[in-house]
């Protein structure tokens, strides 16, 4: 039995200037060109926990999108010339305000996204840490002085190489980390001296809007930042505009491909789908520890993570023991409301997502996989599920799961495991479990992925290590300092010193 939350309502007093309550339902304004605007139409926002309406959020139309674009274009020179120290001060001010209002933000993440409390707390803390790390981003905005004397054709010349802001950035973020991922785009974008328009996910816009109010209060120049909730056609319209100089998008591969096709010649950064493999070799001695890491990496936030472990490739001689250990760990998780259990499997974002995951489970079983644990759904909740002996013909071995399911496939040779891992169209993350470091490094170097984690599940954290994908998982890199390379252009100024 799933326990519903005692109270999924949020006290919006700390954000009362952007919220109007009508018949018990909060109506949110959106930030357009430095002004908080109540729209003429609204997006209905439901909680994944209860499927009840928890808010109505102003929907940006073409006129509001153009207003945001015009303001961003008009202020990009102001942002470019805003002293770097001032940009850092704004981010640190925002960190202090968010820390003061963290409980309200935590409740918004629980109610609007269905996060377990521990994960909601972690997302808020990570966002604070990311704001405070802005000065490390700033340290990457440096130049070079290159003497020309080392090349005959450049005798009597020197070059200064510097980084400049790209101009106007369109940032589009996903539902699973609507606060943190949104602001891992906004923070370096602004620190680099750009104007930014953020389109957060329409299903879970509340945390991003609340954070926009915090940034506004912290002192972002009016017009340099807009936060608009809009349908896909508005995002497509903005993506095709010549006034947009860069697009940064995290989400599905299909949408990323569409953005690539329509955006024209402009910078674009894409972090798309993932299908992380966990390769467990016979060099792994502590299978209980391995199993715990695999289950945690698969079930964290109910598997709704691009870096989640999506499939386990187990060396055949240890597979029976590994399956048993994984099942024992998986049984510790319960279908429950995020605030009621230390190891909860909360809801997926909507019922259609749960039905899609159920379809992957049923397909695997129909093709010969053994259903060891779980397999059922209740509205938008999916039971923690373990499948063994999953054949390579099963869709779940290749399609991104985004749900709490662990499919296990047995392999016989290292080359076979690597081949299966690399056959995926995705290449965001992967993991290798073995106590043989030579084996681990050998396999890691063979795997086609942007990041390979050894003896732990993949987790991007606040981006202290750079991350990003290859193949259909996108291109470009994110991370503290590394994101700056994406949000800036390199300019070379050549000076003649000849007499």
Question: Out of 119, 271, 315, 339, which one is annotated catalytic?
Answer: 271
The candidate with the shortest Cα–Cα distance to 134, out of 86, 76, 196, is 86
Measured CA to CA, the distance from residue 17 to residue 324 in angstroms comes to: 54
CA distance 329 to 295: 7
Q: Say how many C-beta atoms besides its own lie within 10 A of residue 56's C-beta.
A: 18
User: How many whole angstroms separate alpha carbon 298 and alpha carbon 292?
Assistant: 10
Cβ atoms 80, 165 nearer than 8 A: yes
Phi and psi (nearest 5°) for 126?
A: -65, -35
DSSP string, 234-246: HHHHHHH-TT--E
Instruction: Please name the residue that has the structure tokens 């104007």.
Output: 195
Q: Which of 263, 65, 269, 244 is nearest to 168 (CA)?
A: 244
Contacts of 252 (CB under 8 A, 6+ apart): 272, 273
Query: Does the annotation count 306 as an active-site position?
Result: yes
Rounded distance, CA 256 to CA 239, Å?
A: 11
Q: Which residues pair with 409 in a beta bridge?
A: 313
Set 119, 123, 306, 486: catalytic member: 306
Phi, psi of 169 (to 5 degrees): -110, 130
- Dmax over CA atoms of the chain, in Å, equals 85
Q: Considering only CA atoms, which of 79, 69, 81, 489 is closest in space to residue 243?
A: 69
Q: 271 an active-site residue?
A: yes
Alpha-helix runs per DSSP H in 116-231: 117-132, 134-138, 180-191, 206-218
Which residues have a catalytic role annotated? 271, 306
């Amino acid at each position: 039995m799933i326990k519903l939350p005692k109270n999924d309502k949020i006290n919006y007093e700390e954000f009362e200037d952007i919220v109007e309550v009508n018949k018990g339902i909060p109506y949110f304004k959106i930030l357009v060109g430095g002004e908080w605007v109540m729209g003429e139409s609204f997006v209905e926002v439901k909680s994944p926990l209860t499927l009840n309406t928890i808010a109505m959020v102003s929907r940006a139309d073409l006129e509001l999108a153009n207003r945001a674009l015009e303001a961003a274009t008009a202020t990009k020179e102001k942002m470019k010339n805003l002293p770097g120290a001032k940009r850092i001060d704004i981010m640190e001010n925002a960190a202090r305000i968010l820390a003061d209002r963290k409980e309200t933000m935590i409740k918004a993440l629980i109610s609007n996204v269905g996060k377990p409390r521990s994960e909601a707390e972690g997302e808020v803390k990570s966002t604070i840490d990311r704001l405070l790390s802005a000065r490390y981003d700033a340290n990457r905005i440096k130049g070079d002085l290159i003497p020309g004397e080392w090349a005959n054709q450049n005798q009597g010349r020197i070059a200064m190489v510097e980084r400049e802001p790209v101009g106007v950035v369109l940032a589009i973020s996903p539902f699973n980390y609507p606060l943190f991922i949104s602001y891992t785009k906004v923070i370096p974008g602004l620190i680099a001296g750009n104007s930014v328009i953020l389109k957060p996910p329409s299903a879970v816009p509340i945390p991003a809007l609340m954070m926009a109010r915090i940034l506004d209060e912290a002192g972002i120049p009016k017009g340099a930042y807009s936060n608009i909730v809009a349908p896909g056609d508005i995002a497509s319209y903005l993506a095709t505009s010549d006034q947009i100089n860069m697009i940064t998008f995290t989400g599905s591969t299909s949408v990323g491909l569409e953005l690539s096709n329509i955006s024209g010649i402009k910078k674009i950064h894409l972090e798309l789908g993932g299908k992380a493999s966990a390769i467990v070799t016979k060099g792994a001695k502590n299978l209980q520890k391995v199993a715990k890491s695999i289950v945690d990496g698969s079930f964290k936030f109910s598997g709704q993570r691009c870096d989640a472990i999506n499939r386990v490739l187990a060396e055949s001689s240890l597979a029976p023991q590994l399956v048993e250990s994984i099942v024992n760990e998986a049984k510790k998780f319960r279908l429950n409301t995020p605030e009621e259990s230390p190891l909860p499997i909360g809801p997926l974002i909507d019922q259609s997502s749960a039905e899609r995951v159920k379809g992957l489970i049923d397909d695997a079983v129909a093709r010969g996989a053994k259903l060891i644990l779980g397999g059922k759904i209740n509205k938008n909740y999916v039971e923690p599920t373990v499948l063994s002996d999953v054949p390579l013909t099963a869709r779940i071995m290749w399609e991104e799961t985004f749900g709490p399911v662990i499919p296990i496939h047995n392999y016989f040779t290292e080359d076979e495991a690597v081949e299966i891992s690399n056959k995926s169209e995705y290449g965001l993350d992967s993991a290798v479990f073995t106590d043989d470091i030579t084996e681990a490094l050998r396999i890691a170097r063979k795997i086609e992925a942007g990041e390979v984690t050894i003896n732990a599940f993949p987790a991007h954290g606040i981006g202290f290590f750079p991350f990003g994908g290859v193949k259909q998982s996108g291109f470009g890199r994110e991370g503290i300092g590394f994101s700056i390379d994406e949000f800036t252009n390199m300019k070379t100024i050549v000076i003649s010193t000849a007499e």
